[in-house]
Amino acid sequence: MDETTISSNVATKEGEVEEQQSDPTSQEELEPQSASDDLGPLGPETLEERRAVGAETNKKYEGWREPRRTHELQWFINAAYRRGKQSNESIQSLNTVQDITKLDRRKKNIANKLWAKGRARFAKFAKTRPKAIVIPFNTDRKSRLDARATEHTLDYFYERSGQERKYLDVLLYAQDMGKAYWWLHWDPSKVVTIQTKDDVLNTTSQEDREEGDVILEVDSAFSVLVPDLRQVHVGDQPEMMRVRVVDVGTMRKENPEFEEFIKPDSHLASPFEFERQIAHLSGSEAGALASMSTDMKGPQTGVLLKEHYFKPSPKYPKGRYIRVLNGIAVKVQNELPFGFHDMENPYPCIEFMDMPQVGQFYVQAFIEQLIPSSVGITCCGTN
């Protein structure tokens, strides 16, 4: 090899070394970027970008739900024991439930002490009706009248939205699962009464229009997924997800630009397996585990809706909200709904906890501590 060839090879190697030193990816692997990091400030624009954002949310959904399966099994056990089905035990290694009466043919005399304990504890929270109290700013007659009128207005909305019934429902959900939630969202299909005034004729008229209204919903712990199980309160989570089944027609109406892509889901049984089993609990001997099959009969009209919420951060000062249907991010906005980003709990939900605890997000319910005693009483009565 001549001198010219050797010098050219040396120059080429020196150039490669300089290029490697200037390129950080050749020295160490960079942290993987999410699909949403490459998007512009307006969010995804093409269908491929929306599918990529939806795939990222689906991946987090699978990862967050896996450690919660054991808790879902315990929630079913709690509901079964409170309803008198005290012959069920869990198989933690298989994440399933079996009826121990099939192993022991002796007649079981069930003494459901949990029912009385649960009713007595529930009565302490439900016996007093919440009442709004408005204090006038000063002692003027007008201020006192304004405060009285405000109290009447709050009482009207309290009755109109059914908050008393929803408060009792959320307490009952928390008895079995440790937590339950009030969710706030906007329903554009709600009909409201609009009052208009005609300045020319000096008359007023009322008209019902489909203008939308704020809706308060009750939901169980089955619908909430979080990444950090060490944080107790949902408002402390860096991000969270609400998963529920909604009507296909409603979603097509709210997202008309993706109407052709929104279709009924055929795999709705798995995410809500134990929730459906709770719904089929029966007082008969064979009713407790009658719905162990995960097959859903009949044509499906629902679609799985994943709502992904991000807490405010330096990257998203006002938080972020992603709505995923059929693997497509049909809505992406760099701001949390209703302007809650500056509140202690930026998510549009109110958390109810059965027993305050620390260090664990999926807390234990009060009834879970009484199950061993109830089993002992039942065994003594049988023997």
Q: What is the DSSP string of 313-354?
A: -SSSTT-EEEEEETTEEEEEESS-GGGGGGSSS-SSEEEEES
Where does the pLDDT of residue 11 fall: very low under 50, low under 70, confident under 90, or very high at 90 and above? very low
pLDDT for res 125? 84
Where does the pLDDT of residue 232 fall: very low under 50, low under 70, confident under 90, or very high at 90 and above? very high
Per-residue pLDDT of 99-149, as tens digits, reads 544 444 455 566 677 777 888 888 888 888 778 889 998 889 999 999 999
Per-residue pLDDT of 64-102, as tens digits, reads 999 998 899 889 888 888 887 766 554 444 455 555 444
pLDDT for res 211? 80
Kind and range of the H or E run holding 217: strand 213-220
pLDDT for res 25? 38
Find the helix packing angle between 69-82 and 366-382, rounded to 10°. 50
For residue 226, being part of any structural domain is answered with yes
pLDDT for res 366? 87
CB 334 within 8 A of CB 311: no
Give the Cα separation of 371 and 73 in Å (integer): 14
Rounded to an integer, the average pLDDT of 258-265 is 89
Q: Is the pLDDT of residue 27 over 60?
A: no
pLDDT for res 126? 85
Give the Cα separation of 116 and 110 in Å (integer): 13
For residue 91, being part of any structural domain is answered with yes
For residue 6, being part of any structural domain is answered with no
Non-local CB neighbours of 290 within 8 Å, separated by 6+ positions: 280, 282
Q: Across 43-47, 191-195, 365-369, which has the greatest mean pLDDT?
A: 365-369
Number of domains in the chain: 1
For residue 56, being part of any structural domain is answered with yes
More confident residue, 264 or 224: 224
For residue 29, being part of any structural domain is answered with no
For residue 14, being part of any structural domain is answered with no
Its domain, for residue 150, covers 41-382
Give the Cα separation of 279 and 244 in Å (integer): 16
Looking at 66-216, list the stretches that DSSP marks H as alpha helix, in order from N- to C-terminal side. 69-82, 113-126, 141-160, 163-177
Provide the whole-model pTM.
Answer: 0.75
Rounded to an integer, the average pLDDT of 45-60 is 92
Structure tokens at 365: 């319910």
pLDDT for res 172? 92
For residue 116, being part of any structural domain is answered with yes
Where does the pLDDT of residue 293 fall: very low under 50, low under 70, confident under 90, or very high at 90 and above? very low
Where does the pLDDT of residue 3 fall: very low under 50, low under 70, confident under 90, or very high at 90 and above? very low
pLDDT for res 144? 92
CB 70 within 8 A of CB 91: no
Give the Cα separation of 350 and 352 in Å (integer): 7
Closest CA to 339 of 186, 126, 175: 186
Looking at 223-289, list the stretches that DSSP marks H as alpha helix, in order from N- to C-terminal side. 248-254, 273-279
For residue 11, being part of any structural domain is answered with no
Rounded to an integer, the average pLDDT of 20-40 is 45
CB 354 within 8 A of CB 173: no
Per-residue pLDDT of 159-216, as tens digits, reads 888 888 999 999 999 999 999 999 988 887 788 788 888 778 778 888 888 888 788 8
Largest CA distance in the chain: 107
Q: What is the mean pLDDT of the chain?
A: 78
